[in-house]
Structure 1
Amino acid sequence: MVEEVFKNLVDQFSDPFTCLRELVQNAMDAGTENVEVRTRYLSDPGGVCLEIRDFGEGMSRDIIDGKLTRLFSSDKENDLTKIGKFGIGFVSVFSLRPELVTVDTGREGEYWRIAFDGGTDFQLFKLHAPLEGTSVKLFKLLPYEELQEFERRCHETVSRWCRHSHVQISFNDQSINRPLEVDSCCQVSVQEGLGTFNVGLTTDSPSRFGLYNTGLTLTEGEQEKLTGITFKILSNHLEHTLTRDAVIVDENYHKVMNRLNEIIHGPLFDKTCEQLLGGAELREKTAAVAAPYLVEISEKLTSAQKKRPMLKGLFDHLVSWADLAQTAKEENHFFVTEQESDLARRAAREGIPVFGFSRTSQTAALLSSVFEVPVVSLERNLAVSRPVPRPPGLKKIESHIRWLLREARILVRAVVPVEYPDSVAMNPSQPCTFALGPDRLVRRFRRGFWATKYLLPQQLLLDIDHPLIRKALSRAETPGGARLAAYVICKAALLNDGLDPAVESRLLKTLLERS
C-alpha cells in the first residue's frame, strides 16, 4: 500500500526536474538565506551527483521520524510564510529515478544522514561532524555525453520556478535571481501587506502574467481578460493546488485580484499620465503601449481622474482627459503644428488644445485610437479669416447669394471676401465657410457647422484666393453671368454639408424665377 501511494506521488510530476522547485521550496521554508544547487560528475561509476544545499534550521530526529519519512505530513498548514503545505515536496526527488538519495541535516547538537535507496526504504546514520542546514544529494547513473543536457534542464527548471525568490539561489555558483519586473516601459510596483504587485502596459494580446508565493512560481502564462495589462504578483496569500499545476481560487485569491484591479484603475493610470507628461522620448514610448489600456478603462475613470493632466500643449498648457474628450466631441479633430504661430496662440486662447508632436507620432496614434478622431495639421484645418476689399463682381451678386441661401433655410447677414494668411495649402474643395463674422477662428473642415454650432444668422466667408471663387466673381462681371455665379457660390457653400437634391431644385427654380 505504501509503495503504491509512493509511486502515485512520484508519477504526478510530469516533468521530473520540477523536483528542484520542491527542494528549493523546502529549503526556503527552513529559513535559509541562500540555496546552492550544484551538479558534479562521478566518473566512477559514471553518473551525476545533484546537490541542493541550504543553511536553514535543519531537522531534528523527531522531525526526521515524524515528517521527512512520512508521506503527506507537514507542519506548515497555517503558516502563510511557508508555501509547502502538503508534505510531499521531498518525495518529488524520486521522480528523477535516482539510484541513491541522501539527506544530511541536524539540529540541537545532533546531526544525521538519511539514505534512501531510490524508493521507500531508508537507513538512518548519526554524523559526528557538525552541519549547518540541510544537504540533499541525488545520485543517478548517467552517460557523460548526457551531462550537458542534464545540467541544462536543471538550470532551466531552477530559473523558471525560482528566479524571483527572496533568498539568493545559485546554480553551479551562478546566481539565477532576477527582479520581479514586467516587460513594460510603463509600470508601477505596489508593495503592501497583501503582496507585491508589478503591473505594466502592453500591446500584446494575449499578455503575459505571473503569480508567485515567496518568490517561487505558482503559475505563469498568457491572459486576455485584462486588456493591455501585463502583471506579476508576489503574495503569501496565493497557494498552489496539490498537483502544483494551478492556483487555488479562494477568498484570498479574490482579494488579491480585486487589489490588482484597483491598482490598474488607480496608480497605473497616474503613472501613465505622469509619463505622457514627460519628455518627448518617454511620452512616445508610453503612447506606443497605452492605447489598449486607456480604451479599456475609459468608461470607468472618475471625475477626478478625468481632470488630471495627461499631455502638454504647445505652450506647456496642461491638457486633461476631460479637455481631450471635449475637443474630440466639439472639434472632431486634434490639431498639431510645428511652430508657435499666431494661429496656434489664437486656438489655445479659445480653449482648443494644440500639440507640438507630429501627426505620425505615437502620441498622435494614441489620441486617434482612444478618442476615435483624426489628428490633423493646424494650418491645414484652422484659420483666422481677414477681410479684404470687396471685388466688383461680389457687389453685383451678393443679394442673389443671400436670396438663394434663404431658400436653403440659411440666414446670412453678409457675404464677406476674406483671406487666410496663416493657412497652408488649404483644401480646395471648401471655398466657402459660414462663420459669425470675419477675423474669427474658422474650422475649414467642418460640415453642417452653421446648423449645429451656431443658431444666430451668420456671414458667408468667401476665400478670395480660391480658384472657384475668383472664377465665379469674374463671371459675375460678364453680361448674364451674375445668376450663374451666385448659384455656383451657393452650391459650393452647401456642398460643405452635402447638397440635398430638393434643395438644389429650389435653388434652380428661384434662380430662374428671378432671371
Structure 2
Amino acid sequence: MAQPEPLSVDDALDRLVNQFSDAMACFRELIQNALDAGSDEVEVWFEYERGMMTIHVDDWGAGMNREIIDTRLTRLFSSTKDGDMTKIGKFGIGFVSVFAIQPAAVSIDTSRDGEHWRVVFDEQRRFSLIRRDQPVEGTKISIFKPATKAEYAAFRARAAEVVRYWCKHVGGEVRVDGELINEAIDLSAPCKVRREQDNEIIVVGHPLDGQGFAGFYNRGLTLVEDGLDQAIPGIAFKASSAKLEHTLTRDDVIRDARFDKLMAAVNELIAGELCEQVFAKLDAAIREHGPEQGPDHGPDHGPDHGPEHGPDQDHAWLEHLWAAARFHEQAKHAVPEPPNSALFRSPSGAWVGWQPLRRPKRREVIVARVASPLTELLERDGATLVLLPKDCERGAALLEAIAPRVTHVTRWCTALPPNNTDEATRWQVLASQVARLLDAWGAKLGGVRLGHLDYPDSAVADRVAITQAEFGEATLVDDAGELGTGLLSSRRVVVLNADHPSIRTIAGLAQSEPELAAYLAVKAFFLGTRLDAKIDEALAVLTHDHRLLRRGVQA
C-alpha cells in the first residue's frame, strides 16, 4: 500500500486556516487567547483610512517573550494549554484563524520579562520579528485588510455581532468600539432556576415563547447555541463548564462523558427545582387572580415573576404557567401534587387542585367559559367544574393531560323560573293549553312550565322548549327533547322558552286563540325531531276538537 505523502508546512497551515466553519471566528479565537493569557479586559476596535481597514484586538494579559513567540505563536502544533482545564484554547492554534479573513498583514506588539517585540506577518503568512524599544502592556494585535467603505461598514457590523455571540458571557470585560458586550449567563424566562457549583453554571427555564433553546459554554465562551439535538421543546437552558470542549471546527461541542454528566445535571434541575417552581407559581397566580377576574385583582409579578400587570398580561401569564405545567405533567419525571395546590378556578371562584381533577366525582371534569346559573347548579350537585375562557388554549391542554375525561358545560342545560308572579300569570293560558294538547296526544307529561333558557353560554337559548325530569335541574342537552308516550316512558316537564321570540308571539296569540297557539307551540317543539305528517295530523285534529269544545261552551 502506498504511503500518503507528508504535508508541507504551507499545506498544514492552509488546513488550519480553513478548518473553522466561519472566517469571522477569528475574533472568538483572539479574545479566547487574550483571556487565557490572564487579561481581564479585551478591546476590539476598528479604523479606516484610504481603502484600508485596521482591526485592533488589544489585551492586558501576560504578553509574550521571545521563547513564547518562537515556540507557540510562530510554530505550528505547539501548545502548553493541553491538560489545563482552565484554558479553553486547548489546541494552541487560535491565532492562525486571523488568516481566514485574508488580511494583507498582521502586526503583533507584545512585552514580557523585560523583552519588547513586534511580530509582522505578510500576505503570504511569512513573519518578521522586530525588537521594540518601548514596552507594551499585554498584547496588541493589528490586522490590515483592504476594503471599500461599504465593505468596512459591513465587516464592522458583522464583527460586533460575532463578538457578542461568542463572548457575551465571558468573565473578562470585552468591548467593541468602546461598548461593553458582557452579560451574565442568564435566561429571559419568568420561570427559571440556577445552579452554580464546581466551576459549572446551569440555568434552565420556560421561555415565554415556548421555543426550546440550548447553549453550551466554557468559562462563558460560547461553544454552540441553539439548533442542537439537545434542545428540549418548551425548555431553554444554558450550561457553562470548564470541562466542556469544542470540536476542532469550533461549531459544536464534543459529546463525551463530561458532556453527558452536564446534561444529566440539566435534566435533574428541570425535573426538580424548575418543576416545583412552576407549580408553586401557578398556585400563587390562581389564588391571586384566577382567569375570570379583572384588572383590579391580579398580582404585581415583578421582573422575574411574570409579565407586567394587567388583564391581558395576567391571561398571558396564566397561559405560560399552564403550558409549563403541561410540559412537566407529560414528562417522565414525577410531579409534586400537594393536596392544597391550586391549578384552576371553578366558575364560583373556588380553587381546583389535583384531587378533584385526577378523581372527579362524576368521572369527568366540566369546562365552562363563564359563570352561570347552570354552572352554579352543577357545582352545587357535586360536579367538578373548571373555568376556562375561550382563549385559554394552554389551560385546556393541561386539563386534558390531567383529568380522566373533559367535557364542556354546553352538554347540559337548565331552565330558570319566571322573573315574577305577573310573568307566570301572563303565560298561564299558553302553558295550560300546551299541557292539555300534549296530554290528549298521549305524552307522559309531568307538567308544562314557563322558563328562561337564555343564560350565559346556554346551549338551548335558541330552542322554543325543552323537557326536564324536574323543572330547574341540570339536564343533558341530548335528553332535553325527550317526551315519550309509551308505558315505560318517564314523565317529563315541558319548559316553554320565555326568551324565544316565536314563543312570545305565540303567547300573545293564546289570549284569543289558545288552542291554535298551543298547536303552534307543540309543532315548533317537535319540528326537526319527531314531527311527521301523522303526528301533525293528530295534533291538528285534537286542536280542532278542543277549539270546537271551547266555542260550544261559549255558545
Same fold (TM over 0.5): yes
Aligned: 1:284 with 2:315: yes
Aligned-pair CA distance for 1:447: 5.9
1:502-513 matches, cutoff 5 A = none
1:129-174 residue CA offsets vs partner (Å, 9 max, x unmatched): 4433222222334455643233223223212322333322111112
Please point out which of 227, 230, 240 is paired with 1:234: 240
Aligned-pair CA distance for 1:20: 0.7
Aligned: 1:19 with 2:18: no
1:195-223 residue CA offsets vs partner (Å, 9 max, x unmatched): 22243235566x55433332322223346
Bigger mean CA deviation after superposition, 251-260 or 293-302: 293-302
Aligned-pair CA distance for 1:317: 3.3
Determine helix, strand or coil for the equivalent of 2:152.
helix
Please point out which of 69, 77, 81 is paired with 2:82: 77
Judged with a 3 Å threshold, the aligned counterparts in structure 2 of structure 1 residues 125 and 304 are, in CA distance, closer, same or farther, namely: same
Judged with a 3 Å threshold, the aligned counterparts in structure 2 of structure 1 residues 167 and 331 are, in CA distance, closer, same or farther, namely: same
AA aligned opposite 2:226: G
Q: Distance in 1 between matches of 2:98 and 2:335?
A: 56
AA aligned opposite 1:284: H
Judged with a 3 Å threshold, the aligned counterparts in structure 2 of structure 1 residues 98 and 377 are, in CA distance, closer, same or farther, namely: same
Judged with a 3 Å threshold, the aligned counterparts in structure 2 of structure 1 residues 98 and 223 are, in CA distance, closer, same or farther, namely: closer
Aligned: 1:170 with 2:201: no
Bigger mean CA deviation after superposition, 115-124 or 461-470: 461-470
Aligned counterpart, 1:138: 143
1:467-491 residue CA offsets vs partner (Å, 9 max, x unmatched): 799989x9xx979x99x999998x8
AA aligned opposite 2:196: E
Aligned: 1:219 with 2:224: yes
Aligned counterpart, 2:395: 367
Judged with a 3 Å threshold, the aligned counterparts in structure 2 of structure 1 residues 89 and 304 are, in CA distance, closer, same or farther, namely: same
Root-mean-square deviation (CA, aligned residues, Å) is: 5.1
Aligned-pair CA distance for 1:23: 0.5
Query: Residues 432 and 460 of structure 1 are in contact (CA less than 8 Å); yes or no, is this contact kept in structure 2?
Result: no
Aligned counterpart, 1:192: 196
Aligned: 1:245 with 2:258: no
1:313-368 residue CA offsets vs partner (Å, 9 max, x unmatched): 5665333355456679624423423xxx777666555464454x753xx4x23233
Aligned counterpart, 1:513: none
Gaps of 5+ in 1: 406-411, 451-456, 508-515
Aligned: 1:149 with 2:181: no
Judged with a 3 Å threshold, the aligned counterparts in structure 2 of structure 1 residues 33 and 316 are, in CA distance, closer, same or farther, namely: farther
Aligned: 1:318 with 2:333: no
Judged with a 3 Å threshold, the aligned counterparts in structure 2 of structure 1 residues 422 and 28 are, in CA distance, closer, same or farther, namely: same
1:226-266 residue CA offsets vs partner (Å, 9 max, x unmatched): 33334443333432111112221122222333333344444
1:52-91 matches, cutoff 5 A = 52-91=57-96
AA aligned opposite 2:60: F
Q: Distance in 2 between matches of 1:449 and 1:334?
A: 23
Percentage identity across paired residues of the two chains: 29
AA aligned opposite 1:423: Y
Q: Distance in 2 between matches of 1:248 and 1:153?
A: 27
Query: Residues 202 and 229 of structure 1 are in contact (CA less than 8 Å); yes or no, is this contact kept in structure 2?
Result: no
Q: Distance in 2 between matches of 1:324 and 1:330?
A: 8
Aligned-pair CA distance for 1:35: 1.0
Judged with a 3 Å threshold, the aligned counterparts in structure 2 of structure 1 residues 447 and 24 are, in CA distance, closer, same or farther, namely: farther
Q: Distance in 2 between matches of 1:91 and 1:271?
A: 47
Aligned counterpart, 1:94: 99
Bigger mean CA deviation after superposition, 287-296 or 385-394: 385-394
Aligned-pair CA distance for 1:84: 1.4
Q: Distance in 1 between matches of 2:366 and 2:113?
A: 78
Query: Residues 197 and 234 of structure 1 are in contact (CA less than 8 Å); yes or no, is this contact kept in structure 2?
Result: no
Determine helix, strand or coil for the equivalent of 2:56.
strand
Number of positions where the alignment pairs a residue of Structure 1 with one of Structure 2: 477
Bigger mean CA deviation after superposition, 383-392 or 69-78: 383-392
Q: Distance in 2 between matches of 1:445 and 1:108?
A: 92
Aligned-pair CA distance for 1:52: 0.9
1:363-442 matches, cutoff 5 A = 364-371=392-399, 383=414, 392=432, 417=449, 419=451, 423-424=455-456, 426-429=460-463, 431-432=465-466, 440=473, 442=474
Judged with a 3 Å threshold, the aligned counterparts in structure 2 of structure 1 residues 283 and 325 are, in CA distance, closer, same or farther, namely: farther
Please point out which of 300, 305, 309 is paired with 2:342: 309
Query: Residues 347 and 368 of structure 2 are in contact (CA less than 8 Å); yes or no, is this contact kept in structure 1?
Result: no
Q: Distance in 1 between matches of 2:475 and 2:272?
A: 37
Gaps of 5+ in 2: 1-7, 290-297, 299-310, 419-423, 483-488, 536-555
Aligned-pair CA distance for 1:68: 2.5
Determine helix, strand or coil for the equivalent of 1:309.
coil
Normalized against structure 1, the TM-score is what? Answer: 0.71
Query: Residues 43 and 59 of structure 2 are in contact (CA less than 8 Å); yes or no, is this contact kept in structure 1?
Result: yes
AA aligned opposite 1:190: R
